[in-house]
Structure 1
Amino acid sequence: MQDALIVLAGYVLGSIPFGYLIPRLVRGDDVRRHGSGNVGASNVWRVYGRSLGIPVALLDVVKGFVPALVGLELGGDWVGVLAGAAAMIGHARPVFLGFSKGGKMVATAGGVAFALAPFAALACLVLWALTFAAFRYASLASMVTAIALPLLCLAFGSSWPVVGFTALAAVGVLALHRKNVRRLLAGTEPRFSRALPRGVR
């Protein structure tokens, strides 16, 4: 019963749409009307800049980290994996937004990874930063990091539940970025810009 409650709490925490709430509270604006239309940290940063993007990113990381860590400490690897996965699902399809499109799970997956495999997650953070600095595509950096995460977990000796989870998480992140892949291949994916779109200043 305790394990099930931890997993359920992970979904509820993951469903808190910080990328929607913070711009709504601070700017009185709906981020879903801009950019990619999702409530993830990348879209918030792209639309409103780092002053809102950084807090959203950190909160999205925390809502993956906390349930995964609690599950790991109280129930072991499997409960940590399931609670983290539930948080990611909540982020992608948040109950508080009527199960509509949420974020692309990258920051939340990063929080889960830091709880379950901190050394691999730290290496992925460096890889994300290097890829983003080189190409200025947040989507590309996220996909490269997602692919690398299960390999790094394996290299750092993580348990098989954690390796399997990160492999499935990578598939999920890639699936949510399929439109970005098509735009990258077509050369139409916009590079990251901090400029605010008309109407949100």
Structure 2
Amino acid sequence: MLTIPHLALILIAYLAGSIPFSLLVARARGVDLRVAGSGNVGAANVWRTCGFGAFLLALSGDMLKGALPTFAAQMLNVPPLAVVTVGAAAMLGHARSIFLGFRGGKAVATGGGALLAMAPLVALAGLAVWGATFSIVRISSVASLAAAAACAVVAAVFFAQGALPMTYALFVWGAVVSILLLHRANIRRLRAGAENRF
């Protein structure tokens, strides 16, 4: 049953997710991400257009807006399903921001932040795979897709071992599907050999 605090957290998570930290960080440096680099309003495009320091700032903001509401839901001792809906709301806010005309980014960092609150080891495995893949191929979308796949596999292993609740495992798998769908254009460019490389 949805309670008033839970509904409020879902709304807060969506609004927090909607804050376009990457766009704001880049704008503070005189860059409009919507027309620069890849045109995506995510942290990777901040790195591409504004440098690594700005990327870290944008990445931190994008992760925190997923992690903090999810962690707050856990502190309220609500059921895992309620925690998952808060994390999902933050991801939705990032991908369909109310401040950007219901457009947005790919929700990788925001989903990673929510997952960090729910299942830190799964999130850290995804982060490690992202870093390793990116260092090899220098393509952000490939690293993000590889990280999502790694999270799905690690979540399956932890779930099979009884170390991850089914609700959290379903969140991971649902988030992976969402990330794949949000990367449709990237996947088309990868197949055509036209994806942006750092």
Question: TM-score, normalised to structure 1's length?
Answer: 0.90
CA distance in 1, matches of 2:40, 2:139: 16
Q: What residue is the counterpart of 2:25 in the other structure? A: 22
Q: Spell out, residue by residue over 1:14-70, the C-alpha distance to the aligned partner (whole angstroms, 9 max, x if none).
A: 01111111222x223321111222211011111111121110011100000011111
CA distance in 2, matches of 1:33, 1:183: 18
Q: What residue is the counterpart of 1:71 in the other structure? A: 73
2:92 aligns with one of 89, 92, 98: 89
Deviation of residue 168 (structure 1)? 0.9
How many correspondences in the alignment?
190
Say which SS state the counterpart of residue 86 (structure 1) adopts. Answer: helix
CA distance in 2, matches of 1:28, 1:184: 29
Say which SS state the counterpart of residue 61 (structure 1) adopts. Answer: helix
Q: What residue is the counterpart of 1:188 in the other structure? A: 194
Moved more, 107-116 or 44-53: 44-53
Contact 1:150 1:164 in 2 (8 A): no
Runs (5+) with no aligned partner, structure 2? none
Deviation of residue 186 (structure 1)? 1.5
Say which SS state the counterpart of residue 34 (structure 2) adopts. Answer: helix
CA distance in 1, matches of 2:55, 2:130: 16
Superposition pairs of residues 53-64 of structure 1, within 5 angstroms: 53-64=55-66
CA distance in 2, matches of 1:102, 1:38: 8
Alignment of 1:106 onto 2:114: no
Residues 21/66 of structure 1: CA separation in 2 closer, same or farther (3 Å cut): same
Q: What residue is the counterpart of 2:148 in the other structure? A: 146
User: What is the one-letter code of the residue matched to 1:188?
Assistant: A
Runs (5+) with no aligned partner, structure 1? 193-201
Residues 96/113 of structure 1: CA separation in 2 closer, same or farther (3 Å cut): same
User: What is the one-letter code of the residue matched to 1:147?
Assistant: A
CA distance in 1, matches of 2:119, 2:189: 32
CA distance in 1, matches of 2:117, 2:153: 17
User: What is the one-letter code of the residue matched to 1:80?
Assistant: V
Q: What residue is the counterpart of 1:36 in the other structure? A: 38
Question: TM-score, normalised to structure 2's length?
Answer: 0.92
Deviation of residue 107 (structure 1)? 0.5
Contact 1:61 1:108 in 2 (8 A): yes
Structure 1 segments (4+ residues) deviating >3 Å: none
CA distance in 2, matches of 1:189, 1:97: 24
CA distance in 2, matches of 1:35, 1:105: 18
Identity among equivalent positions (%) equals 45
1:52 aligns with one of 54, 59, 65: 54
CA distance in 1, matches of 2:185, 2:191: 10
Alignment of 1:5 onto 2:11: no
Moved more, 30-39 or 136-145: 30-39
